[in-house]
Structure 1
Amino acid sequence: MTARILIIEDEALVAMELRFVLEDLGHEVVGTAADARTARNIVREAEVDLALVDIHLSDGATGVDLGRELGQDQGVTVLFMTANPGMVRNGVAGTIGVLSKPTDERAVQTAVDYALRRRQGQPVDYAPPGLQLFA
């Protein structure tokens, strides 16, 4: 199952590595955004199935509100990827969960697969290792 994925990450090397991993898995990366405004512009212009959202972006800790907005208002499936998972430990409405950074290729693959299966309404028995689900 291939998907259109938006990477919202302010560290260029992390975003580039994520892009390589996702493209190797056969997904289309519709763009990368280092701040909330750029992310909103990409979502307006491109169909996005899944957004991988860091919490701390180049315009501050705007990722939580952005994730909520994309998930609730834009119909985008949202996974947070952050080194600060405690910032979203109580969950964020409209989003699936959080993957702690640093992470590896396998954890990204299993978390993305899980999120896409949920998006399509397919049964999912368990959360993959490293993915903390929200209630």
Structure 2
Amino acid sequence: MTARILIIEDEALVAMELRFVLEDLGHRVVDTVADAKSARDVVRENDIDLALVDIHLSDGPTGVALGRELGQEMGVTVLFMTANPGMVRNGVAGTIGVLSKPTDERAVQTAVDYALRRRQGEPVMYAPPELQLFG
């Protein structure tokens, strides 16, 4: 399944590497943005299936509220990707879970596949071990 993915990450090298991984997997990366306002603008203008959201963005620690908004109000499936998974240990309404950084290509692939299968309503027995699920 090809998905339309938005990368919300303020570290350019991390965003670029994620983009390469996702495109190699056959997905379409609609954009990479570094702050919450840009993310909202992209989601309003495009049909986004999945957003990979860092917690600390160029406009501060805005990722948690952004993820909640994208998931609950804008219909986007949200996975957090952060070096600070403890900041979302209690879960965030409207989002699936968190993948700790640094991570590898296989972990990204399995987490994205899991999230997209859930979005499609497909049965998923187990989450990838690297993905900490919320509620």
Give the alignment's TM-score, normalised by structure 2: 0.99
- Give the AA of the match of 2:51: A
Gaps of 5+ in 2: none
Instruction: Provide the residue aligned with 1:92 in structure 2.
Output: 92
Name the counterpart of 1:83. Answer: 83
Deviations 1:43-90 (A, max 9, x none): 011110000000000000000000000000000000000000000000
CA distance in 2, matches of 1:48, 1:32: 12
Structure 2 equivalent of residue 70 of structure 1: 70
Residue 126 of structure 2 aligns to a residue in which SS?
A: coil
AA at the equivalent of 2:35: D
The reply on whether 1:106 has 2:103 as its aligned counterpart is no
Report the equivalent of 2:7.
7
**Secondary structure at 1:95 match in 2:** coil
Distance 2:3 2:129 in 1: 21
Deviation at 1:9, TM superposition (A): 0.1
2:126 is the alignment partner of 1:126: yes
Q: TM-score, normalised by structure 1?
A: 0.99
- What is the match of residue 27 of structure 2? 27
The unaligned stretches of length 5 or more in structure 1 are none
> What CA deviation, in whole Å up to 9, does each residue of 1:16-40 have, x standing for no partner?
0000000000000000110000000
Distance 1:47 1:10 in 2: 22
Aligned-partner SS, 1:102: coil
CA distance, structure 2, for counterparts of residue 43 and residue 33 of structure 1: 11
Q: 1:87-131 CA distances to partner (integer Å, 9 max, x unpaired)?
A: 000000000000000000000000000000000000000010210
**Distance across 2 between alignment mates of 1:44 and 1:70:** 10
Distance apart, 1:5 and its partner CA: 0.1
Output the amino acid matched with 1:49: D
User: 1:50 and 2:50 equivalent?
Assistant: yes
In structure 2, the residue corresponding to 1:78 is in which secondary structure?
A: strand
